[in-house]
């Protein structure tokens, strides 16, 4: 049976090196956040797509994305884990397919491959580049996120990095095929956009 998923575009970063909010950068007539949403929406296993933001971004994002699809960080943490667990808190029974807003080169086929390899009892599936996790494109199970939220609440989550989360969960790491490595480029500065 194919999994039902909630899609999440991760936009809550500070974009400090870029100097402007990466999710709101434009390619043609679309903001990067919209491009990511459209790609995830095209996957038939995804029921709905939401955008994870921090509180300071709410006003700007409401000009681009309807308010019901915005989920503001509600977990007292820094970094992507705050966004991931905030979405989990709202949808505790749903498996989440997440994608960083600046991974604009990811193709739908690459996301479909994640879905193909996601099955319980595994708690997460991501790609790995030379053994290093690519945590911001992946599927995180409701069960796995519940485990992480429990560890956090009990002060037993030693680190709050996504890498540590994936090491804590039962994670399937798919090697990135050679011909798709370019899709995983993160754009961190204006110079990289040229």
Instruction: Choose which CATH entry (3.20.20.220, 3.90.420.10, 3.20.20.20, 3.90.550.10) describes domain 5-189.
Output: 3.90.550.10
- Asked if residue 126 lies in contact with residue 173, where contact means CB atoms within 8 angstroms, the answer is yes
Are 114 and 138 in contact, with CB atoms under 8 Å apart?
Answer: yes
Q: Decide: 50 and 10 in contact? Cβ < 8 Å.
A: no
Domain ranges of the chain: 5-189
Report, as an integer, the average pLDDT of 157-165. Answer: 93
Q: Read off the DSSP letter of residue 194.
A: -
Please write the tens of the pLDDT for every residue from 20-71. Answer: 678 888 888 999 999 999 999 999 999 999 999 999 898 999 999 999 999 9
For 69-99, write each residue's pLDDT tens digit: 999 999 888 889 999 999 999 999 999 999 9
CB neighbour burial string for 153-165, b if at least 16 within 10 angstroms, e if fewer:
eeeebeebebebb
């Amino acid at each position: 049976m194919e999994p039902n998923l909630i899609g999440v575009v991760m936009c809550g970063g500070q974009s400090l090196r870029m100097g402007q909010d990466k999710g709101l950068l434009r390619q043609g007539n679309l903001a990067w956040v919209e491009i990511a949403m459209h790609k995830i929406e095209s996957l038939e296993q995804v029921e709905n797509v939401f955008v994870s933001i921090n509180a300071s971004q709410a006003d700007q994002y409401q000009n681009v994305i309807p308010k019901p699809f915005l989920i503001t960080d509600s977990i007292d943490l820094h970094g992507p884990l705050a966004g991931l667990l905030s979405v989990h808190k709202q949808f505790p029974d749903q498996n989440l397919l997440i994608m960083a807003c600046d991974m604009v080169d990811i193709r739908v086929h690459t996301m479909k491959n994640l879905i193909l390899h996601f099955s319980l009892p595994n708690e997460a599936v991501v790609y790995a580049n030379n053994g290093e996790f690519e945590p911001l494109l992946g599927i995180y199970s409701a069960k796995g996120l519940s485990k992480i939220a429990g560890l956090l609440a009990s002060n037993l989550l030693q680190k709050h990095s996504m890498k540590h989360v994936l090491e804590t969960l039962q994670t399937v790491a798919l090697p990135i095929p050679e011909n798709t490595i370019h899709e995983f480029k993160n754009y961190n500065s204006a110079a990289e956009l040229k």
